[in-house]
Amino acid sequence: MRKFAMSLVASFVALALIGCNISLEGPTREQAPFTTPVPIQPGWTPPASDSGMALPNIADVVPRITPFVVSIQTEAIAYDVFLRPFPEEGAGSGIIIDPNGYVLTNNHVVQDATRVTVTLGDGRTFEAAEVRRDPLTDIAVVKINAQGLPAAKLGDSRKLRVGDWVIAVGNALALEGGPTVTKGIVSYLGRSIQENSTVLYDLIQTDAPINPGNSGGPLVNMAGEVVGINTAIAGEAQNIGFALAITPAMPIVQSLINKGFVTRPFLGITMQTVNATVARQNNLPVDRGVLVTTVQRGSPADKAGLKPGDVIIRFSGADVVTVSALRQAILSHQTGEDVEIVFHRGSTQSTVRATLGESGPPQ
């Protein structure tokens, strides 16, 4: 790094000398005599500085946040290299969203857990009575048998702007004594990231430090309202974290509480992204699109006439070249909506219409 900096400085000096055509000799008689320039605006003064501006006082917001932030401890069964089972512990965070004991968190915090324990800000501990999860959106709801709990006030994440101040709160590194509070700004809105095999959409990017154990905790605006659910960090990058936006998350949460699962538009196929290798292996006529690998009997895809081996290239007027793109296109529609699907079957391109169904409980 030091070597690079030294080279950069040397290059800059060289460029400055060349660009300015600097002469190291003294003035000569051939040079024009110095003349005083005419002022453009003699009475001009610099703009006044606003010395009264102050950063928001985060200390005033924190007491309104911490009562509804909980820590979550999990126990699961893991296996060593000899496939011998052993207990494994995990830690995360959660948000009390209802006084009657509903706690919002991430799916990956509680997934595969054989036991989930919730510790409130006042030190009381409850074992989860029920856990309801939606892996597709990385959202989960934990129910504990408690009443009269301090519940979060939810904000409207659609009103966020890049540059808005935000606060992240959670059980960072499972440190004892209470939640960790960090601050930052909204760095970007509407990010998409891939977490294992799942693509998460509509994320808030923030530079508020988020650490292991923060998952499931709140991202809060300066009014003390929850605007996001802290979910992921960008590997080794500095100050790049992601939170699920709270507004599009709440219909998922409501469905988990009311039904126990989430219903979505349903086409009824399994699929694979087509690239040059997949096209060659399956003798496909195109090397871009989504290959239909199976069709569920009686599904909307089956009723529309789709078959294994078809390659979908357009869905409802938009090109689709990946499984993720097609899945998101399906989810952007409503159950019962009629959609147009363009696909290749062999060398023939065809168009069909399908009426999207509704997914049922997970099997």
Active site residues: 108, 138, 215
In 196-240, the DSSP E strands lie at 198-206, 218-220, 226-233
12: phi then psi, degrees, rounded to nearest 5:
-65, -45
Quick check: helix, strand or coil at residue 348?
A: strand
Do the bridges between strand 338-345 and strand 348-355 make them parallel or antiparallel, or are there none, so unpaired? antiparallel
In 137-280, the DSSP E strands lie at 139-143, 165-170, 180-195, 198-206, 218-220, 226-233, 241-245, 265-266, 269-274
Three-class DSSP labels, 64-127: HHHHHEEEEEEEEEEECCCCCEEEEEEEEEEEEEECCCEEEEEHHHHCCCCEEEEECCCCCEEE
CA–CA dist 125, 121 (Å, integer): 9
- The answer to whether the CB of 311 falls within 8 A of the CB of 292 is yes
Where does residue 317 fall: left (phi above 0), alpha (psi -120 to 50 degrees), or beta otherwise?
A: left
Do the bridges between strand 180-195 and strand 198-206 make them parallel or antiparallel, or are there none, so unpaired? antiparallel
CA–CA dist 126, 131 (Å, integer): 13
Terminal Cα distance for the chain, rounded: 54
Helix or strand run (H / E) with residue 351 = strand 348-355
Q: Which two tokens stand for residue 330?
A: 């399906």
Closest to 227 in 3D by CA, of 235, 217, 237: 217
